[in-house]
Structure 1
């Protein structure tokens, strides 16, 4: 992706307004539910904000849409190769994500991410829409889901209801893993929905 419109920032700006309008939420109400400041939301909708993993996952949770509907991941067409150096990194507390692909099959939607948990760090999530699958490629990863803790090594897999509070912690070195998020197709954002609410003329309208 290149240019501001094809960047994570640009795609989020376009899709956040659409998702908010589809849910019938003002910026004030979205701010209240997501605990993200109104000024920050206005910056995100104008394309001037700096989204983090926490921000995007919080918006996904409140708006009840897949992450890729906010980031507008491209669809496959024949052979598709995604080079790590060509994909913009989404960073946050203790973790870095590269969105690689969205796969739609029947009534299911899958998002594939290259996930890295930084050495000695932890990421906590209050939960978000979907089912989460993780396969560890390198390092040792501690996963806690709703108070239940497991430790994974290279080759191990864990899956859980992502609406539950969960956390990832790198026990040994940087942890490399493949993250797969699974959604129902009826949770998809309607691409034909308007970008603004009736009577709302600016991104920061209440």
Structure 2
């Protein structure tokens, strides 16, 4: 099942499970009613920011909306899996592993190019992000104290505060683990 179809099913399931109308979800997420309707019909093309806002409004992690609930053994080859682009910066987030029931962590592959930084609003309270830079160079972390990372560097920071990811060289990639305590 492709990303749009998975998103449509998950979004409707979570919205109805929360007892929210399309209008109320749109209001809470700060997006248009048309955007929510298009996503539920499988015709929308959302940005990372839109999906984070909708997930936060529903009280569910981003991964709940895009995970394909694959079997235990799972291989994802670079380029074979559709990611979700940012609307504001050259940044692509690909969910590699969603949190299993009873756990609270998701794993993403981040691919970014130099340009406008990816600025994230605070996620749910208690969120910590763990970043390992794989290639390139990037400024990452809390808005008020980001760090310059090189390949192999690891950084842990509060995801429930404003934070940034800014690629400083072409072909920058990282593995991001988001956990909620």
Please say whether Structure 1 and Structure 2 have the same fold, judged by a TM-score greater than 0.5. Answer: yes
Look up the match of 1:90.
Answer: 84
* Count of residues paired in the alignment: 177
Structure-1 residue corresponding to 2:152: 155
The alignment's C-alpha RMSD in Å is 2.0
Contact 1:131 1:183 in 2 (8 A): yes
68, 74, 96: which one aligns with 1:80 = 74
5+ residue gaps in structure 2?
Answer: none
Q: Which runs of 5+ in 1 are unaligned?
A: 1-5, 185-206
SS in structure 1 of the partner of residue 170 of structure 2 = strand
Structure 1: how far apart are the matches of 2:23 and 2:99? 33
Secondary structure of 1:112's counterpart equals strand
* Structure (1 or 2) with the larger CA radius of gyration: 1
Structure 2 contact 141–157 (Cα < 8 Å) conserved? no
TM-score (norm 1): 0.77
Contact 2:111-2:172 at 8 Å conserved across structures: yes
Say if 2:24 is the partner of 1:29.
Answer: yes
Comparing both chains, which one has the higher relative contact order based on Cα–Cα distances under 8 Å and sequence gaps of 6 or more? Answer: 1
Q: Is contact 1:133-1:157 (8 Å) kept?
A: yes
SS of residue matched to 1:12: helix
TM-score (structure 2 length as normaliser):
0.87
- How far the C-alpha of 1:165 sits from its partner, in A, is 1.3
Task: Please state how far the C-alpha of 1:103 moved relative to its aligned partner.
Answer: 4.7
What CA deviation, in whole Å up to 9, does each residue of 1:67-118 have, x standing for no partner? 22111332442x432222321121113201222223538x423322211121
In the aligned structure 2, how far is the partner of 1:170 from the partner of 1:145?
15
CA pair 146-169 structure 1, distance change in 2 beyond 3 A: closer
